[in-house]
Structure 1
Amino acid sequence: MHRIGYLLTDGFQVMGLATQTVFEYANKVAGEDFYVVQNFSAEGGDQRSSLGVAIATRKASEAEQIDTWMVCGVGNPLESPSSPEERAFLKRVGRDARRIAAICTGAFVLAEAGLLERRRATTHWYFARDMQTRFPDIQVEDDRIYIVDGAFWTSAGMTAGLDLALAMVEKDLGEDVARGVARNLVMHQHRSGGQTQHSEMLTLAPKSDRIQNALNYARKNLARALTVEELAEEVNLSPRQFSRVFTAETGLSPAKAIEGLRLEAARLMIEKSRHPLEIIARETGFRDRRHMREVFIRGFGVPPQSMRRDVRAGA
């Protein structure tokens, strides 16, 4: 039996509790009550979420042996710092707990308790720079879904907490159980911790349907050599007009944007497949493996081989 304690702070984001469903379904898939989940707070009693939903909690100091503590984040950690009681409690349990995890801005609570000093951590990208400024001894990686550093797990935005919880299930009960949980929860994929928080499609964020349609078309046809003329024809614009509108709406030229889409697609294949790099380069539209390597170094600062080694090491 593995006991999981959720530490709720005043104004917690209720989305953080969605991760409890991962452990619930892990029990169902495994066919045993491996996980026992309970809600706690520093003072006990009802805790209100940012939406005003009240959740009954037990007093954390009275908890029996907890194997994993999960700290839920709040909407704005700069305006709602942790209490002295919460920090003192986490400092104490930090010496004994098998794992202590933070969902989203819950990483600020761990940082305020001094548990992340000289460690790697992540949090929601919006607050990552603030976290690095306030806690310079922490290596904040603002572009990761989740990070595991020893006993301390931190995740990015709220939905990334689901990936973190699923990774815990995989570590505790194996890949087959984790895959079954993902299937039951209709999770599109189990994202690795090294995956970026950002999507190239979201970053571009065009304002018109025409440019969005052009991007969708490009993403579906990355294996082919895509030209401005082809994209312009797809959305019924002249090449010159298409280039002008595309750059105005996305801030990038069509060629630069498509390179970003190729880079993102290649990274996902490296993380999720065992295909040789030559095949990945061909499937994502790079001229060859050498060309993909050049773009990787320019975009990520590391070659594809290093990224694949890091993913396998993390796994």
Structure 2
Amino acid sequence: MNLKSNAAAATNRLKIGFVLTRSFTLSAFALFVDTLRLASDELDKSGRIRADWQVLGNTRHLITSSCGVQVAPTSGLVDPAPFNYIVVVGGLLNSENPIDDETVGFLKRAAARKVPLIGLCTGTFTLAEAGLMTGHNVCVSWLHYQAFRERFPELKVRSDRLFNLDRTRGSCAGGSSAADMAAQIVRLHISKEAERNALEVLQIDKARSHLHVQPRKPLAIESNDPRLNAALIIMEQHTENTISISELAASVGLSRRQLERLFMEKAKMSPALVYRKLRLERAKHLLIQTDASLIEIALEVGFESAGHFSRIFAKTYGQTPSRLRAQRST
């Protein structure tokens, strides 16, 4: 490759800037950046030929991850315009002020310049807190779904998918799905061959798409059908504000009759019965782990009265909610 082609390659490189929050998740960051590294060059040579990446910060102070490993910024908060994406890597939600005001300002400047912003793991919380997810679809881990709903009730959020990526915003559940999202970006901006090289070196058989359902199995129901798994996650998310079986079916692209047949085939129960079991399991957890009153718990899991809740609970578990709670202290 001559000097002129070297310069052209550098100009066309995929450029990604990372903003690491306090107590960020190291695994999500590492998988994302390593997918870029391996896609950028042949095999495991690690040259920044087709991609470049920087860890951005307003100081060169080390940033501590949730596991204690520290990472140093490699660049200041430079002009965001040359970046194809800015990725905010989140972590522990109990970290106050995960990024400082200057970094928030940088993200707002990037948004104003139409640079796509991605929330990785709980980085989506950071973007939403800055008002930068308004009007966009949000994807978070099932583990953080309730916390996101409570903090940002005006935003539409789902946790039955691994990631979401549109032209100006992205969000990712984190964990191993960071590699899946990075692989899609590599495929879009570099090539399928670069994606394949990265995944093979990472020992990943195939990247999962944005339509892939998060690996969550409420009630330990084993199924390889993504529609059923998505329906289970949606049920789990709506134990209080319950939705109808018809609405549930439509949310996974099925008619009510098709969903009922699917549940009977795979789970050996109707969706209505599975839904009730999920709500009662949530109630059982609240009885054991909290001091909430019976009426509060009944309403929390979608029952209109404590009496109705107690009767259904006793019929299912062979003892009343009060008896179960009394056993907690014995």
Do Structure 1 and Structure 2 share a fold, with TM-score over 0.5? yes
In structure 1, the gaps of 5 or more residues are 206-256, 269-293, 305-315
The reply to whether residue 261 of structure 1 matches residue 223 of structure 2 is yes
Partners of 1:87 and 1:112 within 8 A in 2: no
CA distance in 1, matches of 2:226, 2:114: 37
The CA distance in 2 between the partners of 1:133 and 1:53, in whole Å, is 30
Deviation (angstroms), 1:97: 4.8
Show CA shifts across 1:207-257 (max 9, x none). Answer: xxxxxxxxxxxxxxxxxxxxxxxxxxxxxxxxxxxxxxxxxxxxxxxxxx4
Q: Which residue of 2 aligns with 1:54?
A: 70
Q: Who is 2:187 aligned against?
A: 170
Aligned residues of 1:42 and 1:89 also touching (Cα < 8 A): no
Aligned-residue offset at 1:125 = 1.5
Distance 2:189 2:135 in 1: 26
Residue of structure 1 equivalent to 2:14: 2
Structure 1 Cα separation of the partners of residues 137 and 75 of structure 2: 30
Moved more, 33-42 or 63-72: 63-72
Check the 8 A contact 2:22/2:63 in 1, yes or no.
yes
* Aligned partner of residue 94 in structure 1, secondary structure: helix
Distance 1:301 1:13 in 2: 30
Matches within 5 A, 1:128-143: 128-143=145-160
Instruction: Give distance in 1, aligned partners of 2:59 and 2:215.
Output: 37
Which residue is equivalent to 2:254?
Answer: 303
Whole-angstrom CA distance in 2 between matches of 1:162 and 1:182: 8
TM-score by length of 2: 0.60
Deviations 1:32-83 (A, max 9, x none): 7111111112433221212222211145423563221111111225755443
- Counterpart code for 1:263: D
- SS of the counterpart of 1:17? helix
Cα shift at 1:136: 2.5
Query: Which residue pairs with 1:34 in the alignment?
Result: 50
The one-letter amino acid of 1:57's match is P
Residues 139-154 of structure 1 correspond to what in structure 2 (within 5 A)?
A: 139-154=156-171
Contact 2:24 2:89 in 1 (8 A): yes
Structure-1 separation of matches of 2:253 and 2:167: 24
Separation of aligned partners in 2, 1:267 and 1:76: 26
Pick aligned residue for 1:20 from 33, 44, 47: 33
Change (3 A) 1:33 1:119: same
Normalising to structure 1: TM-score of the pair? 0.62
In structure 2, the CA distance between the partners of 1:193 and 1:266, relative to structure 1 (3 Å rule), is same
Amino acid at match of 2:123: G
Partner of 1:196: 213
- Where structure 2 has 5 or more consecutive residues not aligned to the other structure, the ranges are 1-12, 231-244, 256-330
Determine if contact 2:23/2:91 at 8 Å carries over to the other structure: yes
SS at 2:52 equivalent: strand
**Alignment-mate amino acid for residue 60 of structure 2:** G
Match of 2:140 among 123, 132, 152: 123
Whole-Å separation in 1 of the counterparts to 2:77 and 2:199: 33
Q: Check conservation: 1:69, 1:97, Cα contact below 8 A.
A: no
* Per-residue deviation, 1:10: 1.9
Q: Does 114-123 or 10-19 show the bigger shift?
A: 10-19
**Structure-1 residue corresponding to 2:267:** none
CA distance in 1 between counterparts of 2:205 and 2:22 reads 32
- Structure 1 residue 4 displacement after superposition: 1.2
**SS state of the match for residue 72, structure 2?**
strand
Q: Quick check: 2:161–2:212 contact (8 Å CA) kept in 1?
A: yes
Q: Report the CA distance shift for 1:122/1:58 in structure 2 as closer, same or farther (over 3 A).
A: same
Rounded Cα–Cα distance in structure 2 between residues aligned with 1:135 and 1:265: 27
- Measure the CA separation in 2 of the matches of 1:60 and 1:81: 17
Query: Between Structure 1 and Structure 2, how many residues are aligned?
Result: 224
Question: Is the 2:77–2:103 Cα contact (8 Å) retained in structure 1?
Answer: no
Kindly provide the amino acid, as one letter, of the partner of residue 33 in structure 2.
Answer: Q
Quote the offset at 1:177 in angstroms: 2.5
Partner of 2:77, secondary structure, is helix
Separation of aligned partners in 2, 1:302 and 1:264 = 11
